[in-house]
Amino acid sequence: MKSTATATKLALLGGTPVRSKPFPPYPTIGDEEKKAVMEVMDSGHLSSFSASRQGFLGGERVQAFEAAFAAYHAMTFGVAFNSATSGLHAAVAACGAGPGDEVIVPPYTFTATATAVLHHNAIPVFADVDPVTFCLDPRSFEAAITPRTKAVIPVHLLGHPAEMDQIIAIARKHKLKVIEDCAQAPGAKYKGRLVGTMGDCAVFSFQESKNMMTGEGGMLITNDPELAEQSRMVRNHGETVIAGEARKYLAQTIGWNYRMTEIEAAIGLVQLKKLDGLNDHRRMLARYLLDRLPSVPGLRYPVEPSQAHHVYHVFGMTYDEKQIGIPRQRFIQALVAEGIPAGTGYPRPLYHNPLFQERMAYGKQGCPFTCHLYQGTVSYAKGLCPVAEDLCAQSALWTFVVRPPATTADMDDIIHAFEKVVESIPELKE
Ligand SMILES: Cc1ncc(COP(=O)(O)O)c(C=O)c1O
């Protein structure tokens, strides 16, 4: 273990912490966002979804945000939502997955990737993740395919792109739709291609912790006009309105109110212009850390293989207790005591949640798992996805603070704290 710091007494053992002030708050809301919101307020219209075809498509700013977001990705259609969860639900519905069908998802992700499948009464089937990138493992994905599989949702987790060439090749071979979950990775690239441009459709989140944000919000992008129109109908009560015709209140399919407001869209237009700069800032901070954090056998910092352009939504590491000599939780406690926010990440693979263990989604009869239309035998048994289980139980180590407006001086505190903790491992064993 190499370190340049002179170990001083750990804060956890009564010493002085490296840092006593909090990291700068996130997100930052600039004058541009404030001005854009005030313009909406002054316009007197906060939504503008209405009875005409134009109104069915959303308010002025919603449509402008959709167009700008699609253009950023060189895609044809953007469909704005009030969250990525609702956008993912619409994507599942628009891709034709429903009762009796299966959709393959990773278990090492946020709940919504899988519950969006249940929202449309389809069954989530879990395939394991890669231990280095934390994203869907193509071999595990292929092994999970059954005659009932309709789609796959690869997640570009923590800002790192999933292995899309292999995932798409497998999906095409089995005639499956690919829905990219880009909630954590707007602006990330795989082999030079932006995430969200490789599958049949993709969904982004603008919830306020994300790399670009509107408070709450989401966006689906696609080149497929049918997927775009179907997802607009799911967004808007299952109705559509034909240009030049009066609204008929005709529900063509089951729909919800998943509409984005003008305020969110106005913020989104400003944030989209900042996205590359915000991501560059994350990348600069991550590079600064990667060049300076102590090299420790058993501690692996985030990787950026040559095919990947990582946008570091989270600075995700892996930790090997056997090599390092103290439990992960002890190491984290020592970092936190030094003033560095750190944690273990997702506490369990999604299928360990009672929702899946007890198979209770709708009502008390086990719907949709027990639906007579479902002929499969999905497993949520412990041991199903060993890599995801290991990441949750013992090896993942995350910190969220590698993001703007933090500076390299803030990163110096992280480096110093890591050095201090690493040098003090013998004392932490006692
Ligand atoms: C991978 C992933 N998918 C989906 C979502 C859902 O996003 P939203 O909060 O916008 O519904 C999140 C949010 O954290 C996420 O991290």
DSSP string, 340-384: ---B--SSS-GGGSHHHHTT-SBTTTTBTTT-TT--------TTS
Atom of ligand 1 nearest to the CA of 205: 10
Unique residue bearing structure tokens 């990348």: 283
Query: Given pLDDT bands bounded at 50, 70 and 90, which one contains residue 249?
Result: confident
Q: Is the pLDDT of residue 296 over 90?
A: yes
Rounded distance between C-alpha atoms, residue 55 and residue 304, angstroms: 43
Q: List all residues 6 or more positions away from 261 whose beta carbon is below 8 Å from its beta carbon.
A: 46, 47, 59, 62, 82
pLDDT at 151 (0 to 100): 98
pLDDT at 244 (0 to 100): 81
Query: Given pLDDT bands bounded at 50, 70 and 90, which one contains residue 299?
Result: very high
CA of residue 190 to ligand 1 center, whole Å: 20
- In this structure, the residue with its CA closest to atom 7 of ligand 1 is 84
Q: Is the pLDDT of residue 291 over 80?
A: yes
* Per-domain residue ranges of the chain: 31-272
Ligand 1 pocket check for 346: Cβ under 6 Å: no
User: Residue 155's closest CA among 122, 120, 112, 118?
Assistant: 112
Q: What is the DSSP letter of 391?
A: I
CA of residue 183 to ligand 1 center, whole Å: 5
Mutate to test the pocket of ligand 1, among 108, 110, 157, 210 (most ligand atoms within 8 A of CB): 110
**Run of H or E including 276:** helix 262-292
Ligand 1 pocket check for 110: Cβ under 6 Å: yes
- What one-character-per-residue DSSP string does 97-136 give? --TT-EEEE-SSS-THHHHHHHHTT-EEEE--B-TTT-SB
Mutate to test the pocket of ligand 1, among 88, 207, 313 (most ligand atoms within 8 A of CB): 207
CA of residue 81 to ligand 1 center, whole Å: 12
Query: Given pLDDT bands bounded at 50, 70 and 90, which one contains residue 52?
Result: confident
Rounded distance between C-alpha atoms, residue 403 and residue 78, angstroms: 27
Other beta carbons within 10 angstroms of residue 214's beta carbon come to: 29
Q: What is the pLDDT of residues 322-376, one digit of tens each?
A: 999 999 999 999 999 999 999 999 999 999 999 999 999 999 999 999 999 999 9
Ligand 1 pocket check for 214: Cβ under 6 Å: no
Ligand 1 pocket check for 112: Cβ under 6 Å: yes
Contact criterion met (CB below 8 Å) for 177 and 171:
yes
- In this structure, the residue with its CA closest to atom 9 of ligand 1 is 207
pLDDT at 4 (0 to 100): 43
Atom of ligand 1 nearest to the CA of 217: 10
User: Residue 350's closest CA among 101, 49, 109, 29?
Assistant: 109
Ligand 1 pocket check for 113: Cβ under 6 Å: yes
pLDDT at 53 (0 to 100): 76
Query: Is the Cα dihedral 216, 221, 225, 231 positive or negative?
Result: negative
Q: What is the pLDDT of residues 118-176, one digit of tens each?
A: 999 999 999 999 999 999 999 999 999 999 999 999 999 999 999 999 999 999 999 99
Q: Is the pLDDT of residue 50 over 90?
A: no
Q: Structure pTM? A: 0.97
Q: Is the pLDDT of residue 209 over 90?
A: yes
pLDDT at 272 (0 to 100): 98
pLDDT at 49 (0 to 100): 82
CA of residue 314 to ligand 1 center, whole Å: 13
Contact criterion met (CB below 8 Å) for 55 and 232:
no
Ligand 1 pocket check for 81: Cβ under 6 Å: no
**Run of H or E including 62:** helix 60-72
Q: Region 187-212: what's the mean pLDDT?
A: 98
CATH of span 31-272 = 3.40.640.10
CA of residue 38 to ligand 1 center, whole Å: 27
Q: Report the Cα–Cα distance between both ends of the chain, in Å, rounded.
A: 19
pLDDT at 243 (0 to 100): 77
Contact criterion met (CB below 8 Å) for 275 and 214:
no
Contact criterion met (CB below 8 Å) for 141 and 127:
yes
Rounded distance between C-alpha atoms, residue 185 and residue 158, angstroms: 7
Rounded distance between C-alpha atoms, residue 356 and residue 361, angstroms: 8
Ligand 1 pocket check for 184: Cβ under 6 Å: yes
Other beta carbons within 10 angstroms of residue 409's beta carbon come to: 7
CA of residue 273 to ligand 1 center, whole Å: 21
Q: Is the pLDDT of residue 7 over 70?
A: no
Ligand 1 pocket check for 121: Cβ under 6 Å: no
